[in-house]
Structure 1
Amino acid sequence: MYYRIRDLREDTDLSQEQVAKLLNVSQTTYSRYETGDLEIPIPSLITLATFYSTSIDYLVDLTDYKQAYPNKKK
């Protein structure tokens, strides 16, 4: 289900363990995110989108547009 997080991880030559550390989860949990066996929590999606400079919409296959949205002005 979340093939894009796998593809982005592989494109950046990262292991599941490395991304799992970024998200503060076990490698097994992260693996289950990639296969869709476990839903990814929104805070983790935000972390991944920020890390990969993309949008959550792209990660969950709602768009094919890979660019991140512009930052909100504060």
Structure 2
Amino acid sequence: MNCKERIRALREDNDYNQTKIAQLLNIGQRTYCDYELGKTRIPIDSIIILAKFYDVDLNYITGVSNIKNPFPTK
């Protein structure tokens, strides 16, 4: 899975709609939809917000790893 597939799967697994996640990121629903479709590249700060929100590490959310580790804490 790549990043766009992973963020969609995480959203659907947690029963959130695109509008809810777009509000979390302070963007429009259409922009978030474009992230999931791969039409627009997701900014790294948004990826970090999503990783924290879903409590998964960046390797998982970006598709580098299939192991769902929790977001690291300091």
Query: For the aligned residues, what is the CA RMSD?
Result: 1.1
| 1:28 partnered with 2:30 | yes
Percent of aligned pairs with the same residue? 44
Q: How many residues align?
A: 72
Task: Tell which structure's C-alpha radius of gyration is larger.
Answer: 1
Shift in Å, 1:4: 0.7
Q: Give the 4+ runs in structure 1 shifted more than 2 A.
A: none
Q: 2:13 aligns with which of 11, 14, 18?
A: 11
Unpaired segments of 5 or more residues in structure 2? none
SS in structure 1 of the partner of residue 48 of structure 2? helix
Q: What pairs up with 1:1-74 in 2 under 5 angstroms?
A: 1=2, 2-72=4-74
Shift in Å, 1:60: 1.3
Distance 2:24 2:71 in 1: 22
SS in structure 2 of the partner of residue 19 of structure 1? helix
Is the helix fraction higher in 1 or 2?
2
